[in-house]
A and B are shown apart, each in its own frame.
Chain A
Amino acid sequence: MRIKLKTDGDIIVEATPDIGYVHRGCEKIAESRNIIKNIPMLERPNIADSSHLNWSYIAPIEELQRVEVPERGLHIRTMLCEINRIASHLYGMAIMGGIFSGHTTMYMFGFGDRELLLDLHEMLTGARMTFSFFVPGGVRRDLPKGFVEKLAQTLDYIERHLGAIDRVFVSNPLFVERARGVGVLSKDDAIKLGVVGPVLRASGVACDVRRDAPYGVYDRVDFEIPSFKEGDSLSRWLVRFEEMKQSISILRQLMRDIPKGPIARKSPLVVPRGEAIGRVESSRGEINHYVVGDGGDKPFRVKMSTGSFKNLAALPFLLKGVRIGDMPIIYGSLDYWPVEADR
């Protein structure tokens, strides 16, 4: 992706994002493969956040097949998604604070902590990213021995280290003064532009699919939805920071309450006739997969709608009238993932 700028001296007059460089035509390819073979492909658009894409694709198929996922399967799914969310937010924070505002420390903190979460992914699913872990009917593996203990230790460590990030960056003018008041998106504009996820919540709209249309076991755990009124780059960064704390609390509740039982039910290798839509809150906003089935083993149509693409609508709006020096931090604060938008 590239951004074409028209400038008046240092001031940006017009910004045009030019997308489509990593377009692969996932939706068309998906029509020619059976539902299982689609799983690895349809989670590739966002490798840092693949479990949410995976779930969003599986949910409508399960709805059409009328397969109910067992309780333990749902818990494991939710658990992996929350670990994935922390990892993805750390990635986004590290990119924004580290690469786009020039703090190597932030970059190292974010990626170093994320490594521990990738180890958890590896232990549970066998892969560090792109898990292909959710299949229609449940999940592919049960929790391995010693996973919960390791998760508890890791969460303690991450929570401790979030304190360090707080001391070094949030209560320290070095980073805050770069991001405060830059790229302000008001509440009305955010709703008008149709942004989703942390970008929307940073503008004062506490909108989250996990609470508005609960899936998995989100209706059985207590969590808050952090939102800020300012709508600037700093609040977008802080929303992710606060959401990680909420994810840690969700994970602790899940660890405590995880039920016994089967992790998956058998499901047929067909998409029954009909149409369904999956709604999942990923770390970059709401993800939808719309699946039409015609009774064969291949979906008749798959349509994806991703958070990155929706949030990109705000970029030309935010860049208008700001200095070129502020452009990286505004771009970074959207946590834009080009492949997810182009797919």
Chain B
Amino acid sequence: MTPVSAAEAFWEGVKHIFKRTFTLKHPYQRHEIPDGYRGRHLLYMDRCTGCGICAWICPEKCITMVPVAQEKTYPQNPQNRFPQYWYIRCCFCHFCVTPDTLVTTNPSVKPIGEISIGDRVLTHSGMYRSVRNIYKRNYSGRLYSIRPLGAPFDLKVTEDHPLLVSSRKFTKRGRFEKGPQKPLWKTPKDLKRGDYLTIPIAKEIRDIEFFEQDIEIGQPGTGKRMIRRLRLQASPDLFRLVGYYLAEGYAVRRTVGFSFGEHEREYINDTARLLEKFFGSQPKRQTIHHSTHVMLHSVAAVQFFSTFGHSSYGKRIPNSMMFAPIEKQKELIKGAWRGDGYLHQPTRSNKATYFEYVTTSRDLAFQLQQLLLRNGIVAQMGYTMHRDRRPAYIVSVRGSFVSAMAMLMDAKFKDSRTKTFSKFEIDRNYMYVPIRIISSVDVTNQPVVNLSVEGDESYVAGNVTAHNCTDYCPTGALDYTKDYDLAEYEKELIIWSPERLSKVPAAYEEYRTKFHGWTGVDHVPLSKEP
């Protein structure tokens, strides 16, 4: 307000007369555009698999997947579908290049190649989620083969595929530190022998009071069919009966049978009692060659037990029982183990003490393992092949978990061991499995499969939690380009086809200016004016 300050203001203005202007002489002068500028998209047509994630995430719906008819075909994109942009709508959020949304995958018990869209798979959070999409591609590079301890198969993963692991450090004496650390996502190249892989424990609990099922009743010859509602109380007893069926049962024509050894009086009586309780008629017993068959001639019972599989290799536990409360599942384990399982006690040749269960059903073996994990018991898996026999899966409980298993089974036995330990660890969320062997080979054009699962970001593969690779555009087919082709604007009609997207824009080096030392806008250098 003083004359001095007014003079200062005037002097400040005078100083600016000798400085350069704020504005640039566009288009002769242009700012240097930094790397990563979210400009026009660039499509690598030889990488795009046509999965459509970019079209799904686009907020403005400006991306359409279009079939491209052309001479050259791309092996990774058999349908020849590529994204086409409608730039009038595009808001350049570039979520299509980096969707930032995460998808999860897994094969539960099926091989990964047999999974179809909509299947529900177990994820690292312990929940079952449905598969949204499946990606198959040919992979060239390093392929890692990991064999965990106590797992039947090797896990084959690509170099960049993250796994949920808890790595272990060496202690001073050259031993591994005890106990698992917090699991982290790591790629196979960071793993070593002894690191813990994780198997998630399913946490979902859905209790039901009654099993309800529509059954067909009627004589096959007369052609009369009636639909009746079968309603069985989902009590622990029913679970135990199902357990017996999983191990010993069979369903043939109109008969459900359970075959026990002649001496297993307790189990025979228990089964007969339960069958009478739930199906209302007394089962028959028949002893042939020291094996007692408990048989119930009931169409309702046959149709009920059909949901658990017919032959020994087709036995499986339905979802309703996998999600049942732990107390009920204990009875199922008990029933099944009484049939096919056994407790091995030390003999002269084999001094080990362990519980074992042998089955030819792959589904049942993995499901039993999962049920035991829910009960806090670590079960390891084995795989045996014998001549003239079906390959069998062995679920065994060993080491320090034997006592817990004995309590579950109500088995009274004297544990003669003085020391017990286990190489496995378990907590509320995961079972920790040490890596036994890890090796890698170079492969070319190896077909690999990846799944996209709703909600979580992971899946259980080869019984080990693996992360999905598709955080971003799975194959990196889309990219940013910061340069744009000035000549494009002079054309009358521009069709933003995949071919045009894939064309690298012309770089106008002569139009670009570069900053040499930043001192504010005053020093934007002038380039030659044409």
Check if B280 is an interface residue, CB within 8 A of chain A.
no
Check if A140 is an interface residue, CB within 8 A of chain B.
yes
Q: In whole angstroms, what is the CA distance A167 to B456 when docked?
A: 57
**Contacting pair A127 B38 (CB below 8 A):** yes
Check if B413 is an interface residue, CB within 8 A of chain A.
no
B1: which A residues are within 8 A, CB to CB? 171-173, 176
Q: Which residues of A contact B (CB under 8 A)?
A: 33, 36-41, 105, 108, 111-112, 115-116, 119, 122-123, 125-127, 130, 132, 135, 140-141, 144, 150, 153-154, 157, 161, 164, 167-169, 171-174, 176, 266-270
A164: which B residues are within 8 A, CB to CB? 12
**Other-chain residue from B5, B99, B101 in contact with A171 (beta carbon distance below 8 A):** B5
**Contacting pair B92 A167 (CB below 8 A):** no
B58: which A residues are within 8 A, CB to CB? 37
Check if B480 is an interface residue, CB within 8 A of chain A.
yes
A141: which B residues are within 8 A, CB to CB? 36
Q: In whole angstroms, what is the CA distance A122 to B36 when docked?
A: 9
* Contact residues of B: prevailing secondary structure: loop
- Shortest Cβ distance from B35 into chain A, in angstroms? 7
**Contacting pair A130 B91 (CB below 8 A):** yes
**Contacting pair B93 A40 (CB below 8 A):** yes
B480: which A residues are within 8 A, CB to CB? 126
Q: In whole angstroms, what is the CA distance A122 to B31 when docked?
A: 12
Pick the most buried of A126, A130, A269: most chain B CB atoms within 10 A of its CB: A126
**Contacting pair A40 B36 (CB below 8 A):** no
Q: In whole angstroms, what is the CA distance A125 to B1 when docked?
A: 43
**Contacting pair A171 B457 (CB below 8 A):** no
Q: List 11 A-B contacts (CB under 8 A).
A: A36-B57, A36-B99, A37-B58, A40-B95, A41-B59, A153-B518, A157-B519, A174-B6, A174-B9, A269-B102, A269-B454
**Contacting pair A112 B34 (CB below 8 A):** no
Number of interface residues of B (CB under 8 A): 38
Q: Give me 11 other A-B pairs in contact (C-beta within 8 A), A126-B480, A144-B36, A154-B518 excluded.
A: A36-B99, A39-B93, A39-B95, A126-B94, A127-B38, A130-B91, A144-B35, A167-B12, A171-B8, A174-B9, A268-B102
**Other-chain residue from B8, B12, B520 in contact with A157 (beta carbon distance below 8 A):** B520
**Contacting pair A168 B31 (CB below 8 A):** no
**Contacting pair B101 A269 (CB below 8 A):** yes
Q: In whole angstroms, what is the CA distance A108 to B19 when docked?
A: 14
- Shortest Cβ distance from A165 into chain B, in angstroms? 9
Looking across the interface, which residue of chain A has its beta carbon closest to that of B31? A119
B78: which A residues are within 8 A, CB to CB? none
**Other-chain residue from A115, A153, A168, A266 in contact with B22 (beta carbon distance below 8 A):** A115
B464-483 with Cβ < 8 A to chain A? 480
* Contact residues of A: prevailing secondary structure: helix
**Contacting pair B34 A33 (CB below 8 A):** no
Looking across the interface, which residue of chain B has its beta carbon closest to that of A44? B91
Q: In whole angstroms, what is the CA distance A218 to B92 when docked?
A: 30
**Other-chain residue from B38, B57, B454, B521 in contact with A126 (beta carbon distance below 8 A):** B38
- Shortest Cβ distance from A289 into chain B, in angstroms? 17
Check if B13 is an interface residue, CB within 8 A of chain A.
yes
**Contacting pair A122 B57 (CB below 8 A):** no
B519: which A residues are within 8 A, CB to CB? 153, 157
Which 10 residue pairs of A and B lie closest in terms of their CB atoms, listed nearest first? Answer: A112-B22, A126-B38, A37-B59, A172-B9, A171-B5, A157-B520, A40-B93, A132-B93, A123-B34, A135-B100
Check if B208 is an interface residue, CB within 8 A of chain A.
no
Interface string of B384-403 (1 = CB under 8 A from A): 00000000000000000000
Check if B489 is an interface residue, CB within 8 A of chain A.
no
**Other-chain residue from B93, B455, B521 in contact with A115 (beta carbon distance below 8 A):** B521
Q: In whole angstroms, what is the CA distance A127 to B93 when docked?
A: 8
**Contacting pair A116 B9 (CB below 8 A):** no
A116: which B residues are within 8 A, CB to CB? 520-521
- Shortest Cβ distance from A135 into chain B, in angstroms? 5
Looking across the interface, which residue of chain A has its beta carbon closest to that of B480? A126
